[in-house]
């Protein structure tokens, strides 16, 4: 691998949320200096001129822009994986602002633990209003309920949250998201179930 080749491909599925996408992409400008080379693969779930404009802005890192007919985040991530140049895919949402050590932590986890599906921590943005529904959903509800996870044990399949998750690129290609789930709801849990059944370790 040449130094200029990305080690990590961050796949971001988005659908008509250009302002959130802009804030998310800006966050990658402030990652830790020791972060390995990475690229962002933005997949437009339904064409959107405003989001295309966001993706076309000059960045300190390469950005690929792909587009599909409106099919949902699962198929969008599958499409992104087909163009990913890095050996490690990191799935992050279009409204996620990454911690400066986000990608570095994922690479170090793969090096320390070996190839696996690694679920990274996700928290509500402290700069945004947290609605009663959001408070119910996480962190004590089903989503982002990290307090029920034991770092020394495998992650259960129903905690396979694709909001901050790393997976070897070839694994995602062999076990893609099911296109039968067109909405951002249970598509990652169902995928996590199949990954677990196939023997892929989740941590």
pTM of the model: 0.88
Buried b (16+ CB within 10 A) or exposed e, 88-109: bbbbbbbbbbbbeebbbbbbeb
In angstroms, what CA-CA distances link 43 with 46, 50, 79, 185, 192?
9, 13, 7, 18, 21
Q: Give dist(CA 26, CA 55) in Å, integer.
A: 11
Q: Please give the CATH superfamily to which domain 8-197 belongs.
A: Spore Coat Polysaccharide Biosynthesis Protein SpsA; Chain A (3.90.550.10)
- Angle at which helix 187-197 crosses helix 73-83, to 10 degrees, equals 60
- Domain regions of the chain by residue span: 8-197
Question: What's the burial of 16, exposed, middle or buried (CB within 10 Å: 0-12/13-18/19+)?
Answer: middle
The pLDDT averaged over each successive group of 10 residues in the chain (203 residues) is 77 95 96 97 96 96 97 96 97 93 96 90 69 62 61 73 91 95 83 90 76
């Amino acid at each position: 691998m040449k130094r200029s080749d990305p080690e990590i491909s961050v796949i971001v599925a988005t659908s008509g949320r250009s302002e959130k996408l802009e804030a998310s992409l800006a966050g990658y400008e402030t990652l830790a200096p020791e972060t390995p080379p990475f690229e962002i693969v933005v997949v437009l779930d339904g064409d959107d001129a405003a989001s295309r404009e966001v993706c076309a802005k000059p960045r300190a890192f390469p950005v690929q822009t792909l587009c599909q007919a409106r099919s949902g985040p699962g198929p969008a991530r599958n499409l992104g994986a087909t163009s990913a140049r890095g050996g490690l895919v990191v799935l992050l949402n279009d409204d996620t602002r990454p911690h400066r050590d986000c990608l570095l932590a994922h690479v170090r986890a793969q090096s320390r633990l070996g190839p696996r599906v690694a679920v990274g921590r996700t928290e509500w943005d402290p700069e945004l209003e947290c609605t009663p529904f959001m408070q119910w959903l996480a962190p004590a509800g089903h989503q982002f309920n990290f307090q029920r996870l034991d770092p020394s044990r495998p992650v259960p399949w129903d905690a396979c949250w694709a909001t901050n998750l790393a997976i070897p690129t070839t694994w995602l290609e062999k076990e893609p998201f099911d296109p039968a789930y067109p909405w951002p709801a249970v598509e990652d849990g169902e995928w996590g179930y199949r990954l677990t059944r196939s023997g892929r370790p989740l941590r």
